[in-house]
Structure 1
Amino acid sequence: MATAEVPPPEEPVLQEDDPKTILQQRLRTVLLGLPSFFKFSNHISGVNATDLYSLNGLLGASIEGQVVKALNQQRALWDPDDEWLGYTFERQSQAFPDVRLVRKGASTDGIEIALGIELKGWFLLSKEGEPSFRFTTTAAACADHDLLVVVPWYLDNVLSGSPVAGEPFVASAKWAAEYRNYYWQHVRRTNASTDIASPSGAKPYPAKADLIADVPAVDGGKNFGRVARAEGLMTDWIRTTNQTEVLGIRIEDWFLFLKMHSDQADPSDITLKLYEEVLRAKDGQAKRQAVKAYQSLMGLLDAYGVDG
């Protein structure tokens, strides 16, 4: 059985005067301010409430494309002194990292890479209630300045409207890969082998055909790489993000409401469960919040013709 006696990994120590370090720090600031830069003009409507989770697959690539566009449009913030002229962010869905800051025609290979971002989107009303992507890339394939970025998003009217970005998760990609393995080998409780095989010769900015994935000896549940489940990696961020209020109700309450219906429960049972949440609320503030959510969700029941 694995234990947590081994200390967790820490983010790479970067040289403060390295131009790439300064660039990365500025990009982190820009990424955290992404909600104010994010623009998506398409309006989504006509999707059944119980089918909303499918939007993650339908719009995921477009959302990630909009993030790349926003980064290029905010060049003045991450390159105020024009030190990276000629460099632009490009997305390559089959490569790692899938977003790279590149300058073409700058070397014998025809391209020069400043740093990379492994970019993932998370639709907040997807079935899992947490990011579901798998990140299996070995740490050796991550450059010290590369980032793992997860962008949460939702529709501004919950069931319809335009996509809105929330504050993303931003961390060193190398650290995330090392922490994933640390969790797998030293934190999770299991009696099975915790060995992980890493590919030899892995290096940053690999070609598409290169082997760069860590492979566990035993993974019966296919959970290796599900970094959202690695306690301590993005746990606090997920919890905070699920507190986001849309139309006055927390995302986690919208999620629970829609999940009840997706499970095809009897409408009367759903109403009873929602009312029980109100009764279970301990203090006055929690009770008022539960009542507010209950009343709003009952309005949704009426809107969708469900007899509560």
Structure 2
Amino acid sequence: MTDPDEPTDLSPMDDTASSSPAGSPAGDPAPTRYELDPADRRTKLRENVIEAINALPFHFASPINIEGLDAGDLFQLNTLLGGAIEVQTVDTLNRIRSVWDPDDEWQDYGFKRFSQSFPDVRLVRGDNTQQPILGIELKGWYLLSKEAEPSFRYQATAEASSVWDLLVCVPWTLSNVLSGSPRILEPYVEQAKYAADMRTYYWKHLRAGDAGSRNSDIHVPQGVTPYAPAGTSTSDKPAQDGGGNFGRVARIRGLMSSWISGLVNSPVSGIPAKYWIDFLKAFSESNDQEQLRRKITALVRRADTSAEEAKAERVYELLSELRQTLN
């Protein structure tokens, strides 16, 4: 879920950690997570919601079924289906409310998605959308996307989140790897306010390159409070960001790195996800069959150094058959 093998000040979510201001000045320690009041009902609710999020892979079901896509087009699935996956994730959370509300303390509440607001999922009572109990900024990640990491930008200012709010990234693949229905894998869960602080700290102090020659200032919107109405400006904006990388939290060491590494090295139909990504790249970048055969053979041997040529050839044949079936 988080990063167990990173330095102590960047350790997994620890709700007893002390708070720290966004935008720490140079020389200050990295941000730490915000304390939660154990006497506040939202603290226990939040623990239960995290438990429900972690249970999503066992309960998620989608009516979507993908067939007939070219292998190269699969890289675009997050763009095509990302919104639908997020909607179905919210539906699943409401369906397993017994996990996050086992004692029926929040019977009048449910999760609703507000796509033009931050956070975009809120636990609200009926139609009272302006007084959520807590919020979730929900992001989807198609695990076999070309970048091999979540590409979303998380730009919300820290003051737009309460200490109970969560940043959640839900990774998914198709049930038959290149076709079928979406299935969810282990979600990433982090304190939203802390994630915003870490993003700011990284931008100001940890980015590669010559810090002295760049402007690392960030323009912070004023007067922002949690659960602002739709259309409210809640995003921090860098003074200089020619590459459009501000908010790429997947690149911040200690935030998502161990979780990402675990997923891209995890098996998808028996083959680590990172090799499926390489296979799909090979198919999308080459129409020359002999060149493609050499690429696939090299990838198979990289995945399994003991693989004989016959095994590599068989993998190539199976992938080619699958590609023809999908076309």
Same fold (TM over 0.5): yes
Q: Distance in 1 between the 2:173 and 2:256 partners?
A: 19
- CA-based RMSD of the aligned residues comes to 2.5
Unaligned runs of 5+ residues in structure 2 are 1-24
- State the partner residue of 2:191: 172
Corresponding residue of 1:16: 38
Structure-1 residue corresponding to 2:151:
132
The answer to whether residue 231 in structure 2 is matched with residue 209 in structure 1 is yes
C-alpha deviations, 1:41-82, integer Å up to 9, x for none? 332111111111222122111111111111111111111111
1:159-238 equivalences in 2 (<5 Å): 159-191=178-210, 192-238=214-260
Given candidates 54, 58, 66, the residue that maps to 2:80 is: 58
Instruction: Give the 3-state SS of the residue equivalent to 2:132 in structure 1.
Output: strand
Distance 1:226 1:38 in 2: 27
CA spacing shift, 1:179–1:94, aligned 2, 3 Å: same
**1: CA distance, partners of 2:153 / 2:310:** 37
Shift of 1:264: 3.1
- Residues 185 and 115 of structure 1: CA distance in aligned 2, closer, same or farther (over 3 Å): same
Shift in alpha-carbon separation, 1:162–1:186, aligned structure 2, 3 A: same
Q: In 2, distance between residues paired with 1:20 and 1:183? A: 29
> Tell me, which stretches of 5 or more residues in structure 1 are unaligned?
none
* TM-score normalised per structure 1: 0.89
Once the two structures are overlaid, the 10-residue window that deviates more, 266-275 or 91-100, is: 266-275
Q: Which whole-Å CA distance do the structure 1 matches of 2:115 and 2:319 have between them?
A: 37
The offset of 1:164, in angstroms, is: 0.5
Partners of 1:278 and 1:291 within 8 A in 2:
no
Cα offset, 1:292, TM superposition: 6.3
Conservation of the 8 A alpha-carbon contact between 1:142 and 1:204: yes
Cα deviation for residue 161 of structure 1 reads 0.7
Residue-by-residue CA offset, 1:128-168 (whole Å, 9 max, x unaligned):
22111111000011111000000000101111111100010
- Aligned-residue identity in percent: 46
Q: Distance in 2 between matches of 1:44 and 1:225?
A: 31
Q: What is the count of residue pairs matched by the alignment?
A: 298
Tell me which amino acid in the other structure corresponds to 1:134.
Answer: R
TM-score normalised by length of structure 2: 0.84
Query: Residues 167 and 135 from structure 1, CA distance in 2 versus in 1: closer, same or farther, beyond 3 angstroms?
Result: same
**1:304 partner SS:** helix
Aligned 8 A contact 2:219 2:239 in 1: yes
